[in-house]
Chain A
Amino acid sequence: MTIEEKQQEIISEFSMFDDWMEKYEYIIDLGKDLPLIENELKTEDRLIEGCQSRVWLESKMIDGKMNYSADSEAIITKGIIGLLIRVLNNETPKSIVENDLHFIHDIGLQEHLSPTRANGLAGMVKRMKIDALKNIS
């Protein structure tokens, strides 16, 4: 599936929810399911400091595809990270850099990505793209 197809899939999943609490219930479940990253990987250089909750991101390139794992102290943030990883994992650095992540906006979660939201998510998306960019040779 392409990045765009994965985004469309998430948008259609979210269109089934009637209200905010259902959406968040789903996001929280995603957050709970997301594997934690090991404590020894929670180092300064992987840390994206948000004002309220800290986020750690680990990026690797495997067989020409990006592979991300991430963690956050806040479960809702983790759930949204889960969505981002689902969209971006196993994609080439080039397609990651080129694609616009519009699904966050389309499912109504853009407030979490605002730079002033201070949960580290905006910084994380930027870091995911920068890490991909570093792997374009």
Chain B
Amino acid sequence: MSKLRDLLTQTKDVVYTAEFPVIDGGGMDQVKKNVERLAPWFAAVNATDNTAAHAHASNVSVAIAMKQHGLEPIMQIVCRDKNRLAIQADMAGANLHGIENIALLTGDDVTAGDEPETRRVFDLDGPQAINVASILNAGTYLSGRKLNPAPNFFICAVENPFAPPHDYRIERAMKKHRAGAQMLQLQIGYHPDRLEKFCAGVAATVPELALIPSVVLVKSSKPLNFMNDKVPGISVPQDVIDRVAQSSDQAEAAYQLALEQCQHALALPGVRGLHITDFRHDETLERLMHDLGRTPNQYT
């Protein structure tokens, strides 16, 4: 049973999600530690798929481990590393293990990672992968061959309202919704006007599509500069960077910025929750959740 689906479709609760840290070392003990840290605050947490084009313990394996430890996964599948057979195998594997939340993403390019010499696959693109998940939900593989029992995936996707062509992003969100996406995590961004326009446009046409904007907790202006310079698709306006850089207490200024972003996003139409990227800043995360009116274990 997907708690995420129930929360979004049957309640008005605000849904907080996060990203499960990648697993390279520490084994199951590390999985357990991460679960203990995240479970009190989040309804469901992303099990990533070779995030930022770096190899890690696989999406399916981490999703299963999270589930075993009592944290609901949103299993991501990206199109960069797997062809349509492998993508469907991930889906069927998730189904076998009772994993219902899956998120389909196009994925960063291989050039973003530490093995840029690898072959990029992109046999499917994001919207096609979403549609394939819908096909599996109807009880067959892409080929028409039967899959029994059929999955009951709660299908999620990601969109970037902040990247050009801005006007088209709303239509693209609707395309993903038509393909079967019911929840849309939005990428990190620092242009509130673009977010407002996007949410208003989506909510006006497909109000049932749950929007989950992302907010990242940082401790200084350095990561803001990094994102602006090095992460394609993220631009941080100079006045935002300056506001943090020129403050006598950078950590506090960065925190206030994040809190404002959260409050701004939560007030927008169509927004049903937030995705928090915390870079393991535990105290800041607790403070933020507290300031947003949350207490631990509200979803259990």
> A and B, one complex?
no
**B positions within 8 Å CB-CB of A:** none
